[in-house]
């Protein structure tokens, strides 16, 4: 059981209403890899520049994460991402101090990784996401994430990619934008009608909704008293979700629902620290404990 | 088993991005009474002006709603409320074309209603809400709703009232305002620390959170493909919540959780029509069916 994680390994500047960190380890693939590694073996496929600090690479160099796919582009700079969060932490302004190597260099799948059983493909060029999926000989579960930029600039390519993946994750505003409707349920249905097979709409602190042609599932957010930094929560969700699914015997609707709760649980830990910092210390028993709490917090009995 | 419902019976002008209705039956007590009447017997305590149309009164005059407490103030005008909803229907501008009799006339509890077993007190003067509760000889469950105006203008009176009620309902922005924190979980805890005994934070389409000193519960919103008008959803929640609790043998934490789902279910129907229109045709079997759907939509199995 192995999960291919692709996306950005980046250096982030993050400012919340309460604190600020500069030049810290970040990126979609970083968070997704650390989350998936709680459940399965991870193969990380990403690029960094020559400036990528050895100390940051060392933090990713841990049992369960294969870093042979983390390539250094000679003469290149590591991508950088900046975010400033508003008071309620649900909205943010983002910018790119350095677009870096992650945009121009899309590393191909190493041939020896064709036997990878699962894929968690961070937001990126939808055509590239498709190439990676095609490179896998018999994947059991595949997930693609996307962002506004690709919805706007490559809608047809994105639709084609969604048809090839088992799951696509979008946040609420992206779902509304993709489907041109304010209703989350209708947006999910529109994405299914467009050929997506499993749609996860991430609702931030409000949880997540999932739709496939056979199932609809809604989960509230895990209630947190303190959110330090929402960065990476969506990526940790995707990593936890696919990491868990990679370990199940058969991917049933019930397992997908569990995977959503595992993803939400992993994400809930992520926001307790800046960037991926909490994920670096998180353990599977902690995840299981919170999963049980999640269940207790949401249980209600049958009606009349 | 009887539920005292107090609050506004009003005439509303409502505009959504998709449609507009003018001079239609509205008001917090109207929606709460219709919702509570799905579960228990309702005693409606409210005032209207001489201009209140007989046709509107006739719509409230139904088995299960005692209208002897709906008083016409001679020479007075019925209160009017206007709302214009934004594109995502989560935010609105409100105004008062006619403040009317509901502000100046706070009808006392008829002495013969002292034996009412439950109370659902719509947003209003917190001192008046307390007087109503004190007038009940042995209420089993009491709920008070409030709005921004009273949080700002009568915070101390409101806090005192919250200490006297079993449950207080607020929406998300009101909770944040009351507790001066962006975290919903922390806002709930702060309200409990201030003496509230049961806090329901209504999250609109995202569901609800409940906190007491012994329990915390989170429920997602029921996924709707089409929302016509969110007006009255919070009042229908309160009415359904208390209406159900009024019928249970013992008010246990498990029953409170069920009541939140009944409230959410009732609210989810409400937004399918303008103002209380859907509530006027809603039946208990429809509520039970959606409650079962709610359960199916949110169920997930135990983890490892």
Confidence of residue A116 (pLDDT cuts 50, 70, 90): very high
Separation CA A222–CA B183 (nearest Å): 12
Q: Which pLDDT score, from 0 to 100, does residue B252 have?
A: 97
For residue B192, what are the contacts with CB-CB under 8 A and spacing of at least 6? Answer: B199, B211, B212, B213
Alpha carbon of residue B169 to chain centroid: 8
The closest of A195, A122, A115, A199 to A161, measured between CA atoms, is A195
Task: Check A216 against B288: CB less than 8 A apart.
Answer: no
Contacts with A302 from chain B: Cβ below 8 Å: 292, 295
Q: Which pLDDT score, from 0 to 100, does residue B211 have?
A: 98
Confidence of residue A270 (pLDDT cuts 50, 70, 90): very high
Average confidence score pLDDT of chain A:
96
Q: Average pLDDT, stretch A95-104?
A: 93
Burial class (CB in 10 A: 0-12, 13-18, 19+), A20: exposed
Is residue A88 predicted with pLDDT exceeding 80?
no
Task: Check B302 against A292: CB less than 8 A apart.
Answer: yes
CB B119 within 8 A of CB B3: yes
β-strand pairing of B10-15 with B20-26: antiparallel
β-bridge mates for residue A14, sequence order: A21, A83
φ/ψ of residue B14, rounded to 5: -130, 135
Of A209, A219, A227, which has the smallest distance from its Cβ to B183's Cβ?
A227
CB A210 within 8 A of CB A216: yes
φ/ψ of residue B195, rounded to 5: 115, -10
Separation CA B243–CA B117 (nearest Å): 10
Separation CA B252–CA B138 (nearest Å): 18
Interface probe, candidates B87, B173, B186, B300, chain A, greatest A C-beta count within 10 A: B300
φ/ψ of residue B15, rounded to 5: -130, 125
The pair of structure tokens assigned to B99 is: 């403040």
Separation CA A256–CA A169 (nearest Å): 13
Of A260, A295, A300, which has the smallest distance from its Cβ to B302's Cβ?
A295
Separation CA B283–CA B301 (nearest Å): 31
Task: Check A183 against B225: CB less than 8 A apart.
Answer: yes
Is residue A283 predicted with pLDDT exceeding 90?
yes
Q: Which residue of chain B comes nearest to A88, CA vs CA?
A: B182
Q: Which pLDDT score, from 0 to 100, does residue A182 have?
A: 82
**How does pLDDT run across A169-206, given as a tens digit for each residue?**
999 999 999 888 888 999 999 999 999 999 999 999 99
**How does pLDDT run across B192-246, given as a tens digit for each residue?**
999 999 999 999 999 999 999 999 999 999 999 999 999 999 999 999 999 999 9
Separation CA B127–CA B84 (nearest Å): 30
Is residue A105 predicted with pLDDT exceeding 80?
yes
| Smallest Cα distance from A213 to chain B, Å | 14
Contacts with A89 from chain B: Cβ below 8 Å: 182
Q: Which pLDDT score, from 0 to 100, does residue B169 have?
A: 98
Using DSSP, state whether A183 is helix, strand or coil: coil
Q: Which pLDDT score, from 0 to 100, does residue B91 have?
A: 86
Separation CA B168–CA A269 (nearest Å): 30
User: For residue A55, how many other CB atoms are within 10 A of its CB?
Assistant: 8
Is residue B50 predicted with pLDDT exceeding 80?
yes
φ/ψ of residue A277, rounded to 5: -60, -40
β-strand pairing of A20-26 with A10-15: antiparallel
Task: Check A218 against B220: CB less than 8 A apart.
Answer: yes
Q: Which pLDDT score, from 0 to 100, does residue A89 have?
A: 82
Q: Which pLDDT score, from 0 to 100, does residue A171 have?
A: 94
Separation CA A130–CA A154 (nearest Å): 13
* Lowest mean per-residue pLDDT among A116-130, A190-204, B175-189: B175-189
| DSSP letter assigned to residue B107 | P
Task: Check A257 against B221: CB less than 8 A apart.
Answer: no
pTM of the predicted structure, to 2 decimals? 0.96
Please compute, for residue A267, the number of CA atoms within 13 A of its CA located in the half-sphere on the CB side.
30
**How does pLDDT run across B148-164, given as a tens digit for each residue?**
999 999 999 999 999 99
Interface probe, candidates A223, A255, A283, chain B, greatest B C-beta count within 10 A: A223
Q: Which pLDDT score, from 0 to 100, does residue A18 have?
A: 85
The closest of A24, A46, A23 to A276, measured between CA atoms, is A24
**How does pLDDT run across A35-65, given as a tens digit for each residue?**
999 999 999 999 999 999 999 999 999 999 9
The closest of B154, B173, B8 to B81, measured between CA atoms, is B8
**How does pLDDT run across B59-102, given as a tens digit for each residue?**
999 999 999 999 999 999 999 999 999 987 878 999 999 999 99
Q: Which pLDDT score, from 0 to 100, does residue A234 have?
A: 97
| Smallest Cα distance from A163 to chain B, Å | 23
C-alpha distance from residue B77 to each of B47, B48, B95, B99 (Å): 10, 7, 16, 8
Task: Check A300 against B224: CB less than 8 A apart.
Answer: no
Q: Which pLDDT score, from 0 to 100, does residue A64 have?
A: 96
Separation CA A49–CA A32 (nearest Å): 20
C-alpha distance from residue B251 to each of A251, B140, B141, B171 (Å): 40, 8, 8, 23
Separation CA B147–CA B234 (nearest Å): 11
Contacts with A205 from chain B: Cβ below 8 Å: 184
Q: What is the per-residue DSSP string for B257-291?
A: HHHHHHHHHHHHHHTTSSTTHHHHH--HHHHHHHH
Confidence of residue A102 (pLDDT cuts 50, 70, 90): very high
User: For residue B232, how many other CB atoms are within 10 A of its CB?
Assistant: 29
φ/ψ of residue B17, rounded to 5: -65, -15
Among all chains, which residue has been given the structure tokens 């629902």? A257
Confidence of residue B48 (pLDDT cuts 50, 70, 90): very high
Please give the ipTM for the structure prediction: 0.93
Confidence of residue A79 (pLDDT cuts 50, 70, 90): very high
Average confidence score pLDDT of chain B:
96
| Smallest Cα distance from A8 to chain B, Å | 30
**How does pLDDT run across A214-237, given as a tens digit for each residue?**
999 999 999 999 999 999 999 999
CB A126 within 8 A of CB A157: yes
Q: Average pLDDT, stretch B135-146?
A: 97
Q: Which pLDDT score, from 0 to 100, does residue A87 have?
A: 81
| Triad A40, A237, A240: Cα angle to 5° | 15
**How does pLDDT run across B97-115, given as a tens digit for each residue?**
999 999 999 999 999 999 9
Helix (H) or strand (E) holding A253: helix A253-270
Q: Average pLDDT, stretch A71-94?
A: 92
| Triad A26, A233, A164: Cα angle to 5° | 95
| Smallest Cα distance from A49 to chain B, Å | 38
Q: Left, alpha or beta for A87 (phi > 0: left; psi -120 to 50: alpha)?
A: alpha
The pair of structure tokens assigned to B125 is: 């003067």
């Amino acid at each position: 059981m192995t999960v291919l994680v692709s996306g950005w390994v980046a250096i982030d500047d993050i400012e919340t209403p309460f604190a600020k960190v500069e030049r810290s380890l970040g990126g979609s693939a970083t968070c997704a890899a650390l989350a998936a590694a709680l459940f399965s073996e991870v193969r990380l496929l990403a690029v960094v520049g020559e400036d990528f600090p050895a100390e940051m690479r060392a933090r990713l160099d841990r049992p369960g994460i294969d870093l042979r796919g983390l390539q250094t582009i000679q003469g290149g700079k590591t991508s950088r991402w900046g975010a400033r969060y508003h008071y309620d932490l649900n909205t943010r302004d983002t910018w790119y101090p350095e677009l870096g190597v992650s945009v121009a260099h899309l590393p191909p799948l190493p041939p020896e990784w064709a036997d990878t059983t699962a894929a968690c493909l961070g937001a990126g060029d939808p055509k590239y996401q498709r190439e990676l999926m095609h490179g896998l000989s018999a994947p059991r579960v595949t997930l693609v994430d996307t962002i506004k930029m690709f919805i706007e600039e490559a809608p047809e390519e994105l639709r084609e990619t969604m048809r090839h993946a088992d799951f696509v994750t979008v946040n609420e505003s992206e779902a509304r934008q993709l489907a041109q409707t304010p209703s989350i349920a209708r947006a999910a249905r529109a994405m299914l009608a467009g050929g997506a097979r499993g749609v996860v709409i991430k609702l931030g602190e409000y949880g997540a909704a999932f739709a496939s042609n056979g199932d609809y599932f809604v989960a509230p957010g895990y209630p947190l008293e303190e959110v330090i930094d929402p960065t990476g929560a969506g990526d940790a969700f995707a990593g936890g979700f696919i990491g868990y699914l990679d370990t199940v015997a058969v991917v049933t609707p019930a397992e997908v629902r569990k995977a959503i709760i595992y993803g939400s649980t992993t994400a809930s830990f992520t926001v307790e620290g800046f960037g991926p910092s909490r994920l670096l210390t998180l353990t599977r028993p902690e995840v299981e404990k919170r999963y049980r709490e999640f269940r207790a917090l949401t249980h209600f009995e049958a009606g009349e």
